[in-house]
């Protein structure tokens, strides 16, 4: 049975050990506790707090302070103004804090910190929102006990310990980023680099600033950019990727470039991280201890209730499964079936295509719905692209329209939302009916 209270920090890690690295300098766990106490007494008196800090250490301090105050952190999946304005309407008793607020509050002198505070295990400490990749973002309350349990499972699976330092390219507001770069330092004793590097050379510099036993937490989009950059990378213990499955080709290139294993996490905002694999060892995902998967429903471990996965999976054993695609990925046009994953694979296999994606048509009931595709292919014309696709696909799956773009719209974690695609299509091809 889970204890009724759980500590903010693992009591087994010395307080003089670093919890973060800022500008190449360590920040001890004792200093962190002092900073949490300093911020907690200055937070606005609202039930909900939008934590928009980009500096990862400041986010960590604010997240902990909000929890200590029995307030709830709101973690938006996007910084888009319209998205934030809608959430503010949904949560009227809320305030927003940023790096600038933390800079001011951390400059205030306070008494030495108290012992490591405890939080109630069933206390809701955060509300994470889905990415909205298939529609509108949905809120997912997270209890402290759930987050701690999930971090313990990740520690067991990846061997996180106080000798390791995490460098993450993903924002801490994202569930993947929260688990790997915020909860892991609190529960497992790892330290975290305070920055959020974006470009490959920024990633290289951040890794170089971190001490030995570095772990890079990233996404397929960032990993692809790092591999293509052709840089010399600092020695890295291993890499973790999530938000979309890696191709074996990219995983092999990354392992060669970094001279380190590439591991993947499978999860969702609703359940958090639940499984992992080393891409080059096969297509099977291995569940974390305590989870059970039955007919697409995930249960056990710390989940308060079963979660229906948005993906189509195939159970291989009691602890392993294969990922077959998204549930909404399957399409039926004029009586013929395919999947968006298969169509995307075909368009991205055309020489000259940098990136391409198909979009599900509207349900008109006419039986003659048409797919839309957006493609980044500077050297190819639309006619050439359609000709190449005609050699690969049944005619009913050829996109009408096919729209060439300079780049696909992505979120901070590299995901593509349906809303952003619809907006881009409306700007480039107003007559396309894909709503």
Q: What is the CATH number of the domain that holds 49?
A: 3.40.50.12780
Q: What is the CATH number of the domain that holds 340?
A: 3.30.300.30
Handedness of CA 388, 389, 392, 394 (dihedral sign): negative
433 domain-assigned? no
63 domain-assigned? yes
Are residues 195 and 87 located together in one domain of the fold?
A: yes
225 domain-assigned? no
Q: Give residue 94's domain range.
A: 5-217+235-240+295-307
10 domain-assigned? yes
323 domain-assigned? no
Are residues 302 and 351 located together in one domain of the fold?
A: no
Are residues 33 and 86 located together in one domain of the fold?
A: yes
Look at residue 66 in the predicted model and tell me its pLDDT.
98
Are residues 350 and 301 located together in one domain of the fold?
A: no
Q: Which of 57-66, 103-112, 121-130, 293-302 has the highest mean pLDDT?
A: 57-66
Are residues 168 and 19 located together in one domain of the fold?
A: yes
- Per-residue pLDDT tens digits for 147-197: 999 999 999 999 999 999 999 999 999 999 999 999 999 999 999 999 999
**pTM of the shown model:** 0.81
Look at residue 131 in the predicted model and tell me its pLDDT.
59
- Per-residue pLDDT tens digits for 307-338: 988 888 888 998 999 887 766 677 767 666 67
Look at residue 340 in the predicted model and tell me its pLDDT.
84
Are residues 199 and 93 located together in one domain of the fold?
A: yes
Look at residue 311 in the predicted model and tell me its pLDDT.
82
Are residues 165 and 109 located together in one domain of the fold?
A: yes
Give the number of domains in the chain: 2
359 domain-assigned? yes
pLDDT above 90: residue 208: yes
Alpha-carbon dihedral angle through residues 278, 284, 290, 292, given to the nearest 10 degrees: 160
Are residues 26 and 152 located together in one domain of the fold?
A: yes
Look at residue 361 in the predicted model and tell me its pLDDT.
59
Are residues 116 and 178 located together in one domain of the fold?
A: yes
Look at residue 433 in the predicted model and tell me its pLDDT.
47
- Per-residue pLDDT tens digits for 361-390: 554 444 446 789 999 999 999 999 999 999
């Amino acid at each position: 049975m889970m204890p009724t209270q759980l500590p903010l920090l693992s009591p087994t890690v010395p307080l003089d050990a670093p919890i973060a690295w800022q500008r190449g300098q360590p920040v001890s766990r004792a200093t962190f506790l002092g900073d949490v106490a300093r911020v907690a007494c200055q937070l606005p008196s609202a039930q909900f707090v939008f934590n928009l800090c980009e500096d990862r250490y400041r986010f960590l301090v604010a997240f902990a302070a909000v929890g200590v105050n029995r307030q709830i952190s709101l973690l938006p999946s996007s910084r888009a103004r319209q998205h934030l304005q809608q959430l503010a309407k949904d949560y009227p008793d809320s305030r927003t804090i940023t790096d600038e607020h933390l800079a001011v509050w951390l400059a205030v002198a306070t008494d030495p910190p108290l012992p490591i505070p405890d939080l109630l295990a069933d206390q809701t400490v955060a509300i994470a929102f889905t990415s909205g990749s298939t529609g509108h973002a949905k809120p997912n309350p997270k209890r402290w006990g759930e987050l701690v349990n999930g971090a313990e499972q990740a520690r067991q699976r990846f061997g996180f310990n106080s000798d390791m330092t995490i460098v993450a390219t993903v924002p801490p507001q994202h569930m993947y980023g929260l688990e790997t770069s915020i909860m892991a330092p609190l529960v497992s004793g790892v330290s975290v680099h305070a920055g959020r590097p974006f470009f490959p050379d920024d990633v290289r510099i951040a890794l170089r600033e971190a001490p030995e036993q570095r772990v890079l937490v990233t996404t397929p989009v960032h990993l692809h950019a790092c591999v293509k950059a052709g840089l010399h990378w600092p020695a890295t213990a291993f890499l973790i990727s999530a938000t979309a499955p890696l191709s074996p080709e990219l995983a092999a290139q990354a392992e060669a470039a970094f001279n380190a294993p590439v591991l993947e996490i499978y999860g969702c905002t609703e359940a958090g991280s639940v499984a992992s694999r080393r891409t080059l060892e096969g297509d099977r995902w291995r569940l974390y201890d305590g989870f059970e998967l039955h007919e697409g429903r995930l249960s056990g471990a710390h989940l308060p209730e079963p979660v229906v996965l948005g993906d189509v999976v195939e159970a291989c054993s009691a602890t392993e499964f294969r990922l077959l695609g998204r549930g909404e990925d399957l399409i039926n046009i004029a009586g013929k079936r395919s999947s968006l994953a298969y169509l995307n694979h075909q368009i991205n296999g055309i020489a000259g295509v940098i990136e391409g994606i198909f979009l599900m048509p509207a349900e008109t009931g006419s039986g003659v719905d048409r797919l839309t595709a957006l493609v980044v292919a500077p050297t190819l014309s639309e006619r050439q692209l359609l000709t190449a696709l005609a050699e690969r696909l049944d005619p009913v799956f050829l996109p009408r329209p096919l729209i060439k773009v300079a780049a696909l719209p992505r979120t901070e974690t590299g995901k593509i939302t349906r809303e952003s695609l619809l907006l881009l299509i409306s700007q480039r091809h107003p007559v396309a009916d894909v709503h």
